[in-house]
Amino acid sequence: MHELQSDEAGLSGVRRILQEWLAGADESLHKKRITDANIHDARKQLKKSRAALRLLRDSIGEIAYRRENNALRDAARPLGVARDSKVLAAALDDLVERYDPATRSLKLDRFRRVLRQEKTSARQVINITLVNRQRKALREVKARSQRWTLKGGDWPVIGGGLGRIYRGGKKRMKAAAESRDSADLHDWRKQVKYLWHQLQILQPAWPGPLQELADQTHKLADHLGDDHDLAVLRARIACHADAFESKDYEALIAVLDRRRKRLQDKAFKLGARIFQEKPRRFVGRIGQYWRLWRRE
């Protein structure tokens, strides 16, 4: 039940959802054998937890917010390395299939072996000692969250957190549009994912419009995520250029850049719709939904 309920206080409800996502990440790592799917699920739960935490930022104070945000970031970091190594192979497969027959003759076996070796090395890091350490950190965050004194009114706090993310997403979209730099695009993507998860929490306030907005934000996050995977893949290709014949290297880079441009164009078109409002107006509109919902 990872959404707010009409009969619970807003701040307490967001804390409950945060704790449920933390418990979900803990459960995903509580396995005798950690699979790629477990790692992926734990990372998703941690990203959602950080989105919920951002809604409570103005209530719990900056010191508590930074402590817990850093703890969750550090818990997710080693899982991200293992997950990325798997994603790169899938991104390469998708690229080759998407641009067949232009990619059919490319000799990629040596590079595929490199990716497999990197995946094996990354997965070896995820041992029982590391997993137990990460789980302990998550349980500590959850325990501390239970002791928070939640200050402030529901919507002033939640709206403030939502507005901060929307404003950040709008600002980073502009920076990414001007530079088309991979780091700027990745920064924008992070804000988009936070916004998506926050809208998931808030959608009961007006299920139709907010669910549609959440779905569109999810779609935008997917476009940016696919672009990020290709950006990382491009860097690995460049790092291992000796694994390719010259013509194959150039051909692969060409189709990769072509695909990235298409993804970015789709992302900016969709992003322009999602981030068309001024942050204050956006928060005010969602706030109206909130107040009407709470009066029912």
Please report, as a single letter, which amino acid is at residue 111: F
Quote the percentage of the chain above a pLDDT of 70.
99
Q: What is the mean pLDDT of the chain?
A: 95
Please report, as a single letter, which amino acid is at residue 70: N
124 pLDDT tier (thresholds 50, 70, 90): confident
Residue 80's pLDDT is what?
82
In this predicted model, what pLDDT tens digit does every residue of 33-86 receive, in sequence order?
888 899 999 999 999 999 999 999 999 999 999 999 999 999 999 888 777 778
More confident residue, 169 or 85: 169
Note whether 290 and 155 are within 8 A (CB).
yes
98 pLDDT tier (thresholds 50, 70, 90): very high
In this predicted model, what pLDDT tens digit does every residue of 15-29 receive, in sequence order?
999 999 999 999 999
Residue 1's pLDDT is what?
59
Note whether 86 and 119 are within 8 A (CB).
yes
State yes or no: pLDDT of 296 exceeds 80: no
Instruction: Give the chain's domains with CATH numbers.
Output: 10-295 (1.40.20.10)
Residue 142's pLDDT is what?
98
Please report, as a single letter, which amino acid is at residue 134: Q
175 pLDDT tier (thresholds 50, 70, 90): very high
Give the residue from 212, 196, 134 showing the smallest Cα distance to 2.
Answer: 196
Please report, as a single letter, which amino acid is at residue 277: E
Q: How far apart are CA 89 and CA 277, in angstroms?
A: 38
Residue 78's pLDDT is what?
87
Residue 65's pLDDT is what?
98
